[in-house]
Amino acid sequence: MAAAAASLHTSISPRSFLPLSKHSLLKPHRSSQILLRKIKQRNCVSCALIGDEIDVIPVQSRDRTDHEDGSVVLMSTETERDGNETVVVGFGAAATSEGQLSLEGFPSSSGDEKRRENEEMEKMIDRTINATIVLAAGSYAISKLLTIDHDYWHGWTLFEILRYAPQHNWVAYEEALKQNPVLAKMVISGIVYSVGDWIAQCYEGKPLFEIDRARTLRSGLVGFTLHGSLSHFYYQFCEELFPFQDWWVVPVKVAFDQTVWSAIWNSIYFTVLGFLRLESPISIFKELKATFFPMLTAGWKLWPFAHLVTYGLVPVEQRLLWVDCVELIWVTILSTYSNEKSEARTSESVIETSSSSTTSIEPSKE
């Protein structure tokens, strides 16, 4: 017994086994399972198995490979090591070229607990980064809005500062529109699209500081580079296309906006986001085809009413600011819809890949 306990490798002749009708798996006797459950130590594992004392039922197979290179797991047991790592020790029946079956132990470590700790650490780092970005951006924006009159604060009360801040910020915005209208509108659209995507992720159920930064950056980049500049030129083009001042011009502009311009902008938005996600052109085309009419008709529930104000009351240079305020609601819908379609396509591709892999590894029956 002592010599057998010192080694995890014991050779047993196939003649000592009883035949079995089905060649599936080697099943251990119940008494051996009870014996192995008791073999749990904290720092090491020492297991012994004697062929004459444990009933082992072998495989009776006509295929010589079952006796030459086949390996079947008989049993396994788990032991905790160092309080963190779980060591799995099993006994396998491996056939040798001499026609004998040998029982040998094989250890494998599982780092589930360490993986969970690493995931929690990564989430904590992401929360910290996101919280830092949000707090820094919010603090900067609030400080810029409140300190617009810091050169004239001498002798002012807090009430006077808060009273004149909105008025003077509006004057500063109009001055920026005169100096560089395209850049001012690009900045506004970039901020609105970033905040809109953040709201969309929170609406989808993500915690406040566990947002996908890459997704928010993509949406803000599209708003900054494309929406602000294109909208600036579009509103000027629309005024030149319909230069009349009659009452019927407003609904005509709304209809043109909600058909031609909405179709163009939605296509640009989905296409550019797809390229920023490094998707293939075929995948982007499928997404655009699936979402084009649903998104166009969804916009008709919101924008016709908003654009009655846009084209009826708001001056041309101020229209984008008003539209961007409404965009906070619309971008939330647009971003949510785009990412739902992207995630659905990713899930479908994963399912197709796994099903094709399962089909390819099925053994051929002779």
Distance CA 155, CA 298 (A): 53
Do strands 101-110 and 9-12 pair parallel, antiparallel, or not at all (unpaired)?
Answer: antiparallel
For residue range 248-263, what is the model confidence (pLDDT) as tens digits? 999 999 999 999 999 9
Asked if the structure places residue 77 within a domain, the reply is yes
Average pLDDT over residues 115-119: 87
Domain boundary residue among 110, 139, 156?
A: 110
For residue range 26-76, what is the model confidence (pLDDT) as tens digits? 444 444 454 445 444 444 444 444 444 444 445 444 544 444 444 444 444
Residues 193 and 307 in one domain: yes
pLDDT at 54: 43
> What is the residue-averaged pLDDT of the chain?
72
pTM for the model: 0.59
The separation between CA 359 and the C-alpha centre of its own chain, rounded to angstroms, equals 28
pLDDT at 135 over 50: yes
Question: What band does 115 get if pLDDT is binned at 50, 70 and 90?
Answer: confident
Measured CA to CA in angstroms, residue 67 lies from 18, 51, 75, 92, 171 at distances of 15, 18, 19, 13, 89
Residues 200 and 61 in one domain: no
| Count of the separate structural domains present in the chain | 2
Asked if the structure places residue 75 within a domain, the reply is yes
Do strands 9-12 and 85-95 pair parallel, antiparallel, or not at all (unpaired)?
Answer: unpaired
pLDDT at 332 over 70: no
Contact 71, 92 (CB under 8 A): yes
pLDDT at 156: 82
For residue range 251-304, what is the model confidence (pLDDT) as tens digits? 999 999 999 999 999 899 889 999 999 999 999 998 888 888 888 888 898 899
pLDDT at 246 over 90: no
Bigger pLDDT: 62 vs 160: 160
Residues 92 and 190 in one domain: no
- With 0-12 CB in 10 A as exposed, 13-18 as middle and 19+ as buried, what is 58? buried
Q: Which residue in 90, 79, 77, 25 sits closest to 56, CA to CA? A: 25
Geometric angle at alpha carbon 221, from 218 and 223, rounded to 5°: 110
Do strands 101-110 and 85-95 pair parallel, antiparallel, or not at all (unpaired)?
Answer: antiparallel
Asked if the structure places residue 127 within a domain, the reply is no
pLDDT at 188 over 90: yes
Domain boundary residue among 90, 110, 130?
A: 110
Domain boundary residue among 94, 110, 126?
A: 110
DSSP E strand boundaries for the chain: 9-12, 71-81, 85-95, 101-110
For residue range 3-23, what is the model confidence (pLDDT) as tens digits? 444 443 444 444 444 444 444
Three-state SS for 77? strand
Tell me the Cα Rg of the chain: 35
DSSP state for residue 64 in the 8-state scheme = T
State the residue range of the domain holding 288: 180-348
Average pLDDT over residues 342-352: 53
- With 0-12 CB in 10 A as exposed, 13-18 as middle and 19+ as buried, what is 86? middle
Question: What band does 347 get if pLDDT is binned at 50, 70 and 90?
Answer: low
Bigger pLDDT: 87 vs 222: 222
Asked if the structure places residue 316 within a domain, the reply is yes
Residues 196 and 344 in one domain: yes
Asked if the structure places residue 117 within a domain, the reply is no
Residues 191 and 94 in one domain: no
Measured CA to CA in angstroms, residue 74 lies from 55, 56, 68, 364 at distances of 12, 9, 17, 25
Q: Please state, for a pLDDT cut of 90, what percent of the chain lies above it.
A: 29
**DSSP letters spanning 146-188:** HTTTGGG-TT--HHHHHHHHHHHHHHHHHHHHHH-HHHHHHHH
Residues 102 and 211 in one domain: no
